[in-house]
């Protein structure tokens, strides 16, 4: 691996890390090196200003996405989830795994691991996603059964079986836990719409093996723990 790639996470750009190297701030096995293209391995001792550099290829981030933010890496008009991250995370060039609607809150996984993202989003894997939905109405027993068996949407597509569990109900409003295993455009809103119900609030609380960290406020994030990463990779096997 090239030295500039090994140390890329130390700077905001490849150009900047090459300047750091050419300025003699990087040493390899105790010797100052100014050649950005030098081939190095994990066995080499690479230091930046006297501190050892550990190579990191991938990053995995759990975010509690707030409403009003787009699940994208760039948008010319709206703030994106990437805009919420600090420089040290942006250096890894993460992207959202799937998307949440702009007005939907909750658990969003961000990573730069393309293979992992592809596996988690593959329709064949039927990765579960759990949401809390506040709707303007109450589902009858018959409607719940139809909802769970699969709903024919406005475009003729029939959704896969889902789970619908009441959390709180009153005369004209209700809160449900909704678990689906696919991610069609505005899917949950469209599923409830087929029963004449409008979604007033939607928050994702689980994705694959991950559960939203309750200590994360809207817009906050953290890297996955090693245990969370291990469980996530088991799902992808």
Residues annotated as part of the active site = 101
- Go through 111-144 and write b for each residue having 16 or more CB atoms within 10 A of its CB, e for each that does not: bbbeebbebbeeeeeebbbbbbbbbebbbeeebb
Would the CA dihedral through 181, 184, 189, 193 be positive or negative? negative
| SS3 readout for 129-173 | EEEEEEECCCCCHHHHHHHHHCCECCCCCECCCCEEEEEEECCCC
Place of tokens 């469980």: 231
Distance of alpha carbon 5 from alpha carbon 25, whole angstroms = 15
Distance of alpha carbon 3 from alpha carbon 9, whole angstroms = 11
Distance of alpha carbon 149 from alpha carbon 87, whole angstroms = 45
C-alpha distances in Å from residue 70, one per residue of 83, 86, 102: 10, 17, 5
């Amino acid at each position: 691996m090239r030295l500039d790639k090994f140390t890329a996470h130390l700077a905001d750009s490849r150009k900047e890390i090459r300047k750091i190297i050419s300025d003699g701030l990087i040493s390899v096995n105790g010797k100052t090196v100014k050649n950005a293209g030098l081939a190095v391995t994990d066995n080499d001792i690479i230091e930046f200003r006297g501190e050892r550099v550990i190579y990191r290829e991938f990053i995995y981030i759990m975010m509690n996405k707030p409403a009003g933010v787009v699940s994208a890496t760039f948008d010319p008009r709206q703030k994106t989830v990437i805009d919420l991250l600090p420089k040290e995370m942006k250096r890894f060039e993460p992207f959202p795994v799937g998307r949440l609607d702009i007005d939907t809150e909750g658990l969003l996984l961000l990573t730069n691991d393309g293979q992992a993202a592809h596996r988690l989003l593959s329709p064949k894997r039927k990765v579960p996603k759990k949401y809390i939905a506040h709707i303007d109405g109450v589902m009858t027993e018959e409607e719940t059964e139809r909802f769970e068996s699969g709903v024919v949407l406005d475009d003729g597509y029939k959704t896969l079986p889902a789970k619908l569990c009441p959390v709180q109900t009153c005369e004209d409003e209700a809160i449900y836990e909704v678990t689906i295993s696919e991610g069609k455009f505005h899917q949950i809103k469209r599923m409830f719409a087929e029963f004449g119900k409008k979604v007033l609030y939607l928050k994702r609380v689980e994705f694959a093996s991950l559960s939203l960290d309750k200590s994360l406020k809207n817009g906050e994030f953290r890297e996955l723990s090693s245990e969370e990463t291990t469980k996530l990779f088991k799902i992808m096997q």
